[in-house]
Amino acid sequence: MDSFQVDSFQQIDELIKEYLLFRGFTATFRSFESECRGDKDKRYQAEKIIEELYTFITNSDINGLIDYWKYLDLRYFSRLDARFFGSVNKFEENLLKYYLVYGSLRTTQQKRKEKVLEFFDTFGTELNGNSGWTKWFGLPFSKDPTTDPNYEVFFTKQWLEKFTISLHNFLNAIFQNMPLPSLICFNLDRLHRYVLEDEIQSLQNEIDSIKNVKAETKSIDTEIRQKIKPFFLSPSRSQSTTSNKGLVVNSDNNVSKSPEIYADDLCLTPISEYAIDNSLELPGEDINPFTIMNQEIYLEHASGISLAKFSHKGNLIASCDMDSIVSVWSYSGTPVKCKIDNLNLNVTCLEWESRSDKLFLIGTDERFIKIFNKESQSIVHEFQTDEHFPRVKQINCSPVEPLFACSSSPKEVDDGLNNFNGSLITWNLKTMMIQDKFIFDPSISKTSGLPVAPIETLQFNHNGQMLVTGDRAGCMRIFDIRSFKPIMEWSLPKVTNISPSKKGNSLHTLSAKVYKIYDND
């Protein structure tokens, strides 16, 4: 039993004694205390029971050993399932053999012979015919049983340790699965609750300590910002002579980071993105609640990165560049795990198999969906979409089944195939076959009253029973995976006058950043 249960037995015993004395049951108290001192169950501690058994052996008390084993057999072993009776018999047999081994080591040859003969005179009739004891009848006549092939293994330290550990585990397994009285269960719940409350209080203290440190850091940050602010906003500073790109030399001949290139060391947003004006304040610290905890630069790709996808376990990243070269790497900065540069196709989407980091799927604009095995570093299977919809738009894997869904569309939006706007297919990764297929054609629009267009995004829900899709026409649909029919659909409101987003430089490196979100409270 674990320490909780052992402590609980001791506490309950003391509570019962206290109650008996309080009630004036002195005779019962003395009887209870006497039985506690002679507790044969040893508060259900396996090591104490084994210690008691070995005490009988060291005292050469064979009758006490047999009586105590019979008590354990009646109290526990006889209540076990019949399939354990063989193990119980084997433990009893080895216990008696250890009695003979111990007696043989502690006596002279003559006394050993007498001791062993005494044992067999008492139990020989019971043991006769037992195949496990046949050779042991010759023990009294062995000159040196420690070197006799019939007995030498039993005289080794390794045999005794193995037997002790096995018996200990056997008793522990019985005690752990033994039903406990309600009083003990109640006390165990109480003890566990106290421990849990202590752990919660300890955790709360740690949180309070972190908040205090955070508050102090915030105060220091504010003070530093107040000191740094004049450096960037002062007119005299802004008119300093620029000697090199990224460096500003002030009148004191000190070199510092240029505000046009770098933000101050405490703010993620470059200062150049804000108007530099004496009348304007620097953005407050709540503008960007993220802080970069670490950053690793991965320089494998030679062209702009078009796709990047974390594995579902979060240990790996699959990335693809404008040359359709796919690589698998770790965000921790370790070398590239594998690289695929012979696809000869335009990669349109990536997706990891949801139940492991072993497989990931590559969608292309030429009908192919390729299954890549990271361990063998090879394409293990290829799927093909309908010839009318060669461009694979999106892939998403079920979180619970070996299943993935993909949407595909015509290669060009205006290719004249007005009768077909796209397809939605589910594939089974075990059978490598199509499971279900849904075609978006004008008849769908006539039935629902909503326009149809190629699907731009799709996602399984948490249990993989539903799939939500969003198409180019602004329509959302939820599919039941079992029937593979839309069970709900609606159109999003039209949004106009949206300014195009600013285009940045094409990416030739991939940077993995881990953020910590601070609680501004």
Q: Which residue, among 174, 169, 215, 159, has the nearest Cα to 72 in the 3D structure?
A: 174
Contacts with 360 (C-beta within 8 Å, 6 or more apart), sequence order: 309, 311, 318, 328, 350, 351, 352, 353, 371, 372, 374
Q: Is residue 393 part of a domain?
A: yes
Taking the C-alpha atoms of residue 267 and residue 221, their distance in angstroms, rounded to an integer, is 10
In the prediction, which pLDDT does 349 show? Answer: 93
Closest CA to 454 of 426, 492, 424, 479: 424
Query: Which of the residue ranges 133-137, 263-267, 490-494 has the most confident prediction, judged by mean pLDDT?
Result: 133-137
Is there a single domain that holds both residue 127 and residue 210?
no
Same domain, 235 and 308: no
Residue with more model confidence, 434 or 117: 434
Q: What one-letter code names the amino acid at 348?
A: T
- C-beta neighbour count of 169 within 10 angstroms: 11
In the numeric block, the tokens 């910002």 are attached to 225
Q: Which carries the bigger pLDDT value, residue 270 or residue 472?
A: 472
Do residue 474 and residue 410 come from a single domain? yes
Of 288, 307, 322, which one is at a domain's C-terminal end? Answer: 288
pLDDT tens-digit series, residues 63-86? 899 999 999 998 888 888 888 888
* Count of domains forming the chain: 3
Domain ranges, residue 248:
190-288
The answer for residues whose C-beta is within 8 angstroms of residue 91's C-beta and 6 or more apart is 166, 167, 170
- Burial of residue 319 (CB within 10 Å: 0-12, 13-18, 19+) is buried
In a domain, 16, yes or no: no
> Average pLDDT, stretch 204-228?
73
pLDDT of residue 348: 92
Instruction: Please state the rounded mean pLDDT for residues 202-216.
Output: 78
Shared-domain flag, residues 497 and 364: yes
Query: Alpha helix (H) ranges present in 128-181?
Result: 157-176
Cβ neighbours for 455, distance < 8 A, ≥ 6 positions apart: 393, 394, 407, 409, 422, 424, 440, 469, 470, 471, 472
Whether 185 maps to a domain, the answer reads no
> Residue type at 278?
N
- At residue 201, what is the residue type? Q
Written as six digits, the tokens of 295 are: 């950053």
Residue 363 to residue 198: CA distance in whole angstroms? 53
Same domain, 313 and 449: yes
Are residues 272 and 306 located together in one domain of the fold? no
The amino acid occupying position 187 is N
Residue 286 structure tokens: 């709540």
- 29: in domain: no
What confidence score (pLDDT) does residue 15 get?
A: 85
Is the C-alpha dihedral spanning 504, 506, 508, 510 positive or negative?
A: positive
* pTM value > 0.85: no
What's the rounded Cα separation, in Å, for the pair 435 and 178?
49
Distance CA 296, CA 302 (A): 17
Judgement on whether residues 367 and 438 belong to the same structural domain of the protein: yes
47 and 138, same domain (yes or no) = yes
Mean pLDDT of 85-96: 90
Q: Give percent of the chain with pLDDT exceeding 90.
A: 17
447 in the same domain as 426: yes
Distance CA 259, CA 279 (A): 17
pLDDT at 43: 81
Q: SS3 string of 403-445? A: EEEEEEECCCCCCCCCCCCEEEEEEECCCCEEEEEEEECHHHH
